[in-house]
Amino acid sequence: MYTAVVGKTFLKEYNRRNGTGYSAKEFFDREIFEQIFNHEKYLLWAGNSPFVQGLSKKKPFFNSAERLENLGKLHKKISAGDRDASIALGFPASENKEYATTSGLVTDLEVPSDEEAVYLSWIGGTLSLGVSGGYTILFDDPEITYATFEGWEHYRRFLNDPLFDKFPPYKLTTWNGQWLAYRFDEWYEKDFNFGTLERESLFSSSEKGIEINTVSWSRLFFSLSTYLEIESATAYIFSLGSTNKTVGFIPFQFQSGRSLIAVYQKLFGNEEYRIKRTSEFEAFFGRHIKRACEMGSIGLHALRPESLEKYFGDSTNLKFVSVKADRKKGESDEAFRERIEKEASKSRSTIISYQTYKTWLVAMLSKNKTDISEYSREIAQALVRYRAGGRKLDRKNLLEKEFFQTNKIKMLEALHKIITNDEVEQDIKDKMNSLRDQVHFLSKEDFAYFITLLKFDYGYAEFKNQ
């Protein structure tokens, strides 16, 4: 099964880096058993395996002698030829017909499953990356898998530390995803501590305990894009639970992540990116992982912000909020402070949405190497000037009801009305003429992106012009 393929890739890299010649069984005994299972608190719950059989609320852990006995039971089962999911990670359940929903990563091809392959499946399975949405990502890549393995010792350190007695066990795949996103982050700190990781949103702490947050696939994607020099890599995506799901092999186009980062930095500056990268920039991008996989690959299309879709198709625009610093009549200090904070938060949220949407739209429109961002801003400013010169609501209605439509013909008709209006100043007419030429050569898809970008830039220019 595929976990064995990934395990083989990793073991070769491990032996190369450490000057060892371990077999899969030797690595299992020295690393997987010692780090994951030879403690009172496991890193991973290996369902139905000898490591968990017999555990309950009354008996929450095995002692040292019992753990060694369980290891022996596993070895014995593997030697005897047992190959179900409780013995080999990623293999089918023991009775395919009765327990079909609990089998994953399965093929009807005849795949050799000798003892080495079984131990390799444990290696590959424990290197899986859990992401939000309930899915798991598995890369067959030596650098990715080795970096994932390096995170195990830190999870074990926190789990064994008496200061973190509420640190959750059995979360290895969740930890793997968060760890790799942090390890490959541009601002990774080698000498990190718990506080560092909590600030990076790996953990959430409360009186009830500590929770390892599940990383969003987009944050993991951006970290991989930043750290790795490869253009793309194919991952196997699946979900293991009461009902297992297999998505399949999906290419990850890392150059798309680097493209979005470059566009954002160009539009808003590197310092702005540093401030917003984790909680705001990375979090806004990406559809649900299942929807993203339906695109066939993880690239710019899959990274489209989920909430952007509602702005396609009509004139609905972002509503930018101004913070009104003037105190209302009779407003108390506390009420004034709460209102200002609420308005500031809403204003900031809208600006973040604007920056995120613009970054994605510009990246999509710049695939042909043409920089559209400055041009869109200039046209938006000209449209604000055009509206300001109108009588009552005539120009406002023209823009909102005719111009900002995803129908190119309606938009061109509105442009014609602006250009042929003798009352419109010549500079605005010149810009509208250039816009007409620009729009003429856009495909239907690119036109939808461009008119939405222009709508956002127009709303922002109008907001700044208040």
Q: Which residue has the tokens 């308005």?
A: 343
Predicted pLDDT at 153: 97
Nearby residues of 2 by Cβ (< 8 Å), 6 or more positions away: 90, 105, 124, 138, 140, 236
Predicted pLDDT at 108: 52
Residue-wise pLDDT for 245-286, tens only, equals 889 999 999 999 999 999 988 888 877 776 667 667 787 899
Residue-wise pLDDT for 284-319, tens only, equals 899 899 999 999 999 999 999 988 988 987 667 888
pLDDT band at 367 (very low <50, low <70, confident <90, very high): low
> Could you count the other beta carbons within 10 Å of the beta carbon of residue 90?
25
Which is higher by pLDDT, 188 or 23? 23
Predicted pLDDT at 145: 98
Predicted pLDDT at 114: 85
Question: Could you tell me how many residues make up the chain?
Answer: 466
Best CA proximity match to 255, nearest among 291, 228, 286: 228
Give residue 365's identity as a one-letter amino acid code: L
Predicted pLDDT at 250: 96
Phi, psi of 288 (to 5 degrees): -55, 145
pLDDT, averaged across the chain: 88
Predicted pLDDT at 322: 81
> Could you count the other beta carbons within 10 Å of the beta carbon of residue 206?
8
Predicted pLDDT at 93: 55
Predicted pLDDT at 154: 97
Best CA proximity match to 298, nearest among 385, 205, 216: 216
Q: Is the pLDDT of residue 429 over 60?
A: yes
Three-state secondary structure along the chain? CHHHHHHHHHHHHHHHHHCCCCCHHHHHHHHHHHHHHCCCCCCCCCCCCCCCCCCCCCCCCCCHHHHHHHHHHHHHHHHCCCCCCCCCCCCCCCCCCCCHHHCCCCCCCCCCCCHHHHHHHHHHHCCCEEECCCEEEEECCHHHHHHHHHCHHHHHHHHHCHHHCCCCCCCHHHHHHHHHHHHCCCCCCCCCCHHHHHHCCCEEEECCEEEECCCCHHHHHHHHHHHCCCCEEEEEEEECCCCCEEEEEEEEEHHHHHHHHHHHHHHHCHHHHHHHHHHHHHHHCCCCHHHHHCCCCECCCCCCCHHHHHHCCCCCCCCCCCCCCCCCCCCCHHHHHHHHHHHHHHHHHHHHHHHHHHHHHHHHHCCCCCCCHHHHHHHHHHHHHHHHCCCCCHHHHHHHHHHCCCCHHHHHHHHHHHHCCCCCCHHHHHHHHHHHHHHHCCCHHHHHHHHHHHHHHHHHHHHHCC
Residue-wise pLDDT for 130-157, tens only, equals 999 999 999 999 999 999 999 999 999 9
Instruction: State the Cα–Cα distance between residues 458 and 386, nearest whole angstrom.
Output: 11
Contact 142, 151 (CB under 8 A): no
Q: Is 352 exposed, middle or buried (0-12, 13-18, 19+ CB in 10 A)?
A: middle
Q: Is the pLDDT of residue 97 over 50?
A: no
Give residue 382's identity as a one-letter amino acid code: A
Q: Say how many CA atoms lie within 13 Å of 159 toward its Cβ.
A: 23
Predicted pLDDT at 461: 94
Show me where the domains of the chain are located: 2-253, 349-464
For residue 317 the two structure tokens come to: 């625009």
Q: Is the pLDDT of residue 95 over 70?
A: no
